[in-house]
Amino acid sequence: MEKILEVKDLRVSFHTYAGEVKAVRGVSFHVNKGESIAIVGESGCGKSVTSQTIMKLIEMPPGEIKQGQILFEGEDLVPKKEKEMEKIRGKEISMIFQDPMTSLNPTLTIGRQIMEGLIKHQGLSKAEAKEQAIGMLDLVGIPMSDRRVDQYPHEFSGGMRQRAMIAIALACNPKLLIADEPTTALDVTIQAQIMDLMKELQQRTGASIILITHDLGVVAEACDRVVVMYAGEVIETGTVDEIFYHPKHPYTKGLLKSVPRLDLKKDEPLVPILGTPPDLLNPPKGCAFAPRCEYAMKVCLEYSPEMEASTPSHQSACWLNHPLAKKRLTPPQTEE
Ligand code: SF4
Ligand code: MG
């Protein structure tokens, strides 16, 4: 399969008064053409920073890309200047944010905001762009689009605003759509509608999608593969079935137990993951999950586990799954 995006060993830090916060610590993953992947993890795990770095939207400074490559259609975005990124953003890669109220411009009509990209990137006239903006509003299921096109964001409901955001993001037919918690602020029924809409539009346009979410519930339906992040690292990645039915990493298992899901049996209780993620000013030496892990062994505190493949599509970073684990574990165990 052809890759549209490949992120290789990405490291992103933020320089603060307290020191260097290592928000993204060697993240690698890829997205194939026409594929939907989810990046999941608790807040602060680096998933949003990763996606904003792909769009080069992090403020530098205080942010800094310390290392790594972001290959979009084989071309590295990391060294690209702001001028070049402006041509890519909105046209090749688009982003939908969690809260449309803060990312929509309150002083411009919804129509104008859809038209902007069409005029800028596709050279349409104002009249042509407006025509297309109305078509986009139809496409995302906004009724009376010819009237709605002249309304302002505050005249739209929450769900409608999210649909409008999707219309803006998809107006220029991007090859990659990054949706950062696109449904978190919405109620469950609207959430489901928005996810259905994204899926339908994806099938129609052939765009690839990166869905950033803390909510595994929306992932199963909407995505092909899942990337699980913890403390700025990818700790497990696999197909939706592999992650949901054969999770390998204790953190992934914990995540699955802690979120309400339709496929959970009625009597299965929700179990929160106790403790908090580590401080990324001083990330731990070994496995970052060790302080919260009920399986933590001596080796986990000393050495960080590498990603290990259990199938061609399924990888996880945990000493429990490592072929060398037994060997390395023996000395510390017998020492005690
Ligand atoms: Fe737990 Fe050790 Fe696996 Fe980390 S490496 S998740 S501490 S068992
Ligand atoms: Mg976030």
185 has a pLDDT exceeding 90? no
Task: Find the ligand nearest to 308 CA.
Answer: 1
User: Would the CB of 296 count as within 6 Å of ligand 1?
Assistant: yes
Q: Place 183 in a pLDDT band, splitting at 50, 70 and 90.
A: confident
Q: Place 264 in a pLDDT band, splitting at 50, 70 and 90.
A: low
Ligand 2 ion local residues (Cβ < 5 A): 48
H/E segment holding residue 169: helix 158-170
332 has a pLDDT exceeding 60? no
List all residues 6 or more positions away from 55 whose beta carbon is below 8 Å from its beta carbon.
85, 89, 93, 95, 178
Classify residue 67: in a domain, yes or no.
Answer: yes
The number of the ligand 1 atom at minimal distance from the alpha carbon of 301 is 7
What is the reported pLDDT for 309? 93
Q: Place 65 in a pLDDT band, splitting at 50, 70 and 90.
A: very high
User: Would the CB of 101 count as within 6 Å of ligand 1?
Assistant: no
| Residue in 228, 297, 310 to alter for ligand 1 test, most ligand atoms within 8 A of Cβ | 297
Classify residue 8: in a domain, yes or no.
Answer: yes
Q: Place 336 in a pLDDT band, splitting at 50, 70 and 90.
A: very low
Instruction: Identify whether residues 78 and 220 lie together within a single domain.
Output: yes
Instruction: Identify whether residues 158 and 223 lie together within a single domain.
Output: no
The number of the ligand 1 atom at minimal distance from the alpha carbon of 250 is 6
Tell me which range, 158-172, 254-268, 302-316, is most confidently predicted by mean pLDDT. Answer: 302-316
Angle at alpha carbon of residue 243, lines to 51 and 256, rounded to 5°: 90
Q: Rounded distance, CA 10 to CA 28, Å?
A: 7
Instruction: Identify whether residues 8 and 155 lie together within a single domain.
Output: no
User: Would the CB of 299 count as within 6 Å of ligand 1?
Assistant: no
The pTM for the full model equals 0.89
Instruction: Identify whether residues 200 and 86 lie together within a single domain.
Output: yes
Distances (CA, A) of 248 to 67, 70, 90, 322: 28, 27, 37, 11
Instruction: Identify whether residues 77 and 183 lie together within a single domain.
Output: yes
* % of the chain residues with pLDDT over 90: 63
Instruction: Identify whether residues 153 and 264 lie together within a single domain.
Output: no
Q: Rounded distance, CA 52 to CA 54, Å?
A: 5
ipTM, 2 dp:
0.96
| Residue in 316, 318, 333 to alter for ligand 1 test, most ligand atoms within 8 A of Cβ | 318
What is the reported pLDDT for 224? 92
206-227: per-residue pLDDT in tens? 899 999 988 887 888 789 999 9
Of 173, 189, 208, which one is at a domain's C-terminal end?
173
Classify residue 98: in a domain, yes or no.
Answer: no
User: Would the CB of 287 count as within 6 Å of ligand 1?
Assistant: yes
Of 251, 274, 297, which one is at a domain's C-terminal end?
274
User: How far does the centroid of ligand 2 lie from the alpha carbon of residue 129, in Å?
Assistant: 32
State the angle between helix axes of 110-122 and 126-139 in degrees (0 to 180), rounded to the nearest 10: 120
Classify residue 311: in a domain, yes or no.
Answer: no
291 has a pLDDT exceeding 80? yes
Give how many domains the chain has, as a whole number.
2
User: How far does the centroid of ligand 2 lie from the alpha carbon of residue 41, in Å?
Assistant: 10
User: Which CATH number do you get for residue 23?
Assistant: 3.40.50.300
Instruction: Identify whether residues 118 and 263 lie together within a single domain.
Output: no
Instruction: Identify whether residues 163 and 180 lie together within a single domain.
Output: no
Instruction: Identify whether residues 65 and 124 lie together within a single domain.
Output: no
| Mean pLDDT score of the chain | 89
Q: Place 335 in a pLDDT band, splitting at 50, 70 and 90.
A: very low
Classify residue 325: in a domain, yes or no.
Answer: no
Q: For residue 41, give its domain range.
A: 3-92+174-274
User: How far does the centroid of ligand 2 lie from the alpha carbon of residue 332, in Å?
Assistant: 39
- Token pair 């259609």 in the structure block, residue: 73
User: Would the CB of 290 count as within 6 Å of ligand 1?
Assistant: yes
Instruction: Identify whether residues 139 and 245 lie together within a single domain.
Output: no
Instruction: Identify whether residues 69 and 189 lie together within a single domain.
Output: yes
Cβ–Cβ < 8 Å for 167, 138: no
Of 274, 301, 323, which one is at a domain's C-terminal end?
274
Mean pLDDT check: name the lowest of 67-76, 98-107, 168-177, 270-279.
Answer: 98-107
Q: Which amino acid is at 57?
A: L
92-144: per-residue pLDDT in tens? 999 988 776 778 899 999 999 999 989 988 899 999 999 999 998 988 889 99
User: Would the CB of 153 count as within 6 Å of ligand 1?
Assistant: no
Report the DSSP pairing between strands 93-96 and 176-180: parallel
User: How far does the centroid of ligand 1 lie from the alpha carbon of residue 124, in Å?
Assistant: 54
User: How far does the centroid of ligand 1 lie from the alpha carbon of residue 75, in Å?
Assistant: 35
Ligand 1, atom 5: closest residue by C-alpha:
318
Classify residue 73: in a domain, yes or no.
Answer: yes
Classify residue 296: in a domain, yes or no.
Answer: no
Report the residue count for the chain: 336
- Token pair 């992932």 in the structure block, residue: 219
User: Would the CB of 139 count as within 6 Å of ligand 1?
Assistant: no
253 has a pLDDT exceeding 90? yes
Instruction: Identify whether residues 180 and 84 lie together within a single domain.
Output: yes
46 has a pLDDT exceeding 90? yes
Q: Calculate the CA 148 to chain-centre distance.
A: 30
User: Would the CB of 111 count as within 6 Å of ligand 1?
Assistant: no
Across 73-86, average pLDDT: 95
What is the reported pLDDT for 327? 56
User: Would the CB of 90 count as within 6 Å of ligand 1?
Assistant: no
Task: Find the ligand nearest to 42 CA.
Answer: 2
Classify residue 61: in a domain, yes or no.
Answer: yes
Ligand 1, atom 3: closest residue by C-alpha:
318
